[in-house]
Amino acid sequence: MLKLTGDTTDAVRLTAVGKRYGRRDNPVVALRDVTTQFGRGTFTAIMGPSGSGTSTLMQCAAGLDHPTSGSVVLEEHELGEMNETELTRLRRDRIGFVFQSFNLLPVLTVRQNVTLPLQLAGRKPAPGLVASVLDQVGLAQRSNHRPAELSGGQQQRVAIARALVNDPAVIFADEPTGALDTRTARDILRLLRYSSQAAGQTIVMVTHDPVAASYADRVLFLADGRLVDELRSPNPDSVANRMTRLGAFADEDPAPRSATNRGGQR
């Protein structure tokens, strides 16, 4: 069977995804045997200590990076079977990104940065759409400014507006609220939650912040490239508790722990 078909409830499915960087004699293993799925219209947070593979997981799920092993299916497309042109088209039409570094083009204004994906797709934004999205991220007054004239948090909000304006099926956001003050972060998180609940978009967000993660329906925890835990209906306390345990987990020897008796708990 070449293509996986049938189950249309998942926007993205990862099966046994592994990612290894660098040379064979000195590899960095960024992901190990990650299997999970992101249901349509769901909002998932991905957490883990720095270097645990959260960005790599997102890049692989979004077709921006190729896993070394395993499979990624996005909206029934097996990414490993697609060539670069097909991948580019899929990313352009179906996926929105908010990168850890904002990836704004310095010579373009806020408005031009936001509409760039639509222009690349040869589409025109619906009347009022760009103004409305810029208003939602609190940048209505800054549409003619260039990124260098904005703060880090404002640049981040331009990147979020750019991801939203294309109305993609899946939005991947890597630490979208990392540079924002509490109040602006809350507005952005509400916007992301609204996008999943009302607009049916699938949101996958990497964050280090338990409060940000509590806006999601589900939190996945990574340690040393491995999916080690999952929490549904999170709240800031339950997320912080798991993160504390995860810190202890990440400090352990990454060798198989089969010989370790972890108190008989599962």
Q: Which residues bind ligand ATP (CB under 6 A)?
A: 21-22, 28, 30, 48, 50-56
Is 55 or 195 the residue whose CB approaches Mg ion more closely? 55
| Tokens (6 digits) for 192 | 């992301």
Is 48 or 125 the residue whose CB approaches ligand ATP more closely? 48
Does 52 interact with Mg ion (rule: CB under 5 A)? no
For residue 26, the minimal CB distance to ligand ATP (Å) is 10
For residue 100, what are the contacts with CB-CB under 8 A and spacing of at least 6? 55, 174, 175, 178, 206
Ramachandran area for residue 184 (φ above 0: left; ψ -120 to 50: alpha; else beta)? alpha
Name which position in 44, 55, 115, 154 contacts Mg ion (CB under 5 A).
55
Q: What is the edge-to-edge ordering of all strands in the sheet holding 28-39?
A: 28-39, 10-21, 69-74, 77-78
Q: Which of the listed partners (ligand ATP, Mg ion, none) does 52 bind, with a CB threshold of 5 to 8 Å by partner kind?
A: ligand ATP
Q: Which amino acid belongs to residue 68?
A: T
Residue 151 CB-density burial (10 A; 0-12 exposed, 13-18 middle, 19+ buried): exposed
Q: Which of the listed partners (Mg ion, ligand ATP, none) does 189 bind, with a CB threshold of 5 to 8 Å by partner kind?
A: none
For residue 51, the minimal CB distance to Mg ion (Å) is 8
Q: Which of the listed partners (Mg ion, ligand ATP, none) does 51 bind, with a CB threshold of 5 to 8 Å by partner kind?
A: ligand ATP
Is 41 or 67 the residue whose CB approaches Mg ion more closely? 67
Q: What is the edge-to-edge ordering of all strands in the sheet holding 95-98?
A: 95-98, 170-174, 202-206, 43-47, 218-223, 226-232
Q: Which of the listed partners (Mg ion, ligand ATP, none) does 50 bind, with a CB threshold of 5 to 8 Å by partner kind?
A: ligand ATP
Q: Which of the listed partners (ligand ATP, Mg ion, none) does 200 bind, with a CB threshold of 5 to 8 Å by partner kind?
A: none
Give me the sign of the Cα torsion angle 190, 195, 200, 204: negative
| Residues forming beta bridges with residue 45, ordered by sequence position | 205, 219
Residue 201 CB-density burial (10 A; 0-12 exposed, 13-18 middle, 19+ buried): buried
Is 55 or 196 the residue whose CB approaches Mg ion more closely? 55
For residue 22, the minimal CB distance to ligand ATP (Å) is 5
Is 21 or 200 the residue whose CB approaches ligand ATP more closely? 21
- Size, binding site for Mg ion by CB under 5 A: 1
CA pair distance 266, 256, nearest whole angstrom: 16
**169, 12 Cβ separation under 8 angstroms:** no
Is 54 or 143 the residue whose CB approaches ligand ATP more closely? 54
The residues of the shown chain that bind Mg ion, judged by CB under 5 A, are 55
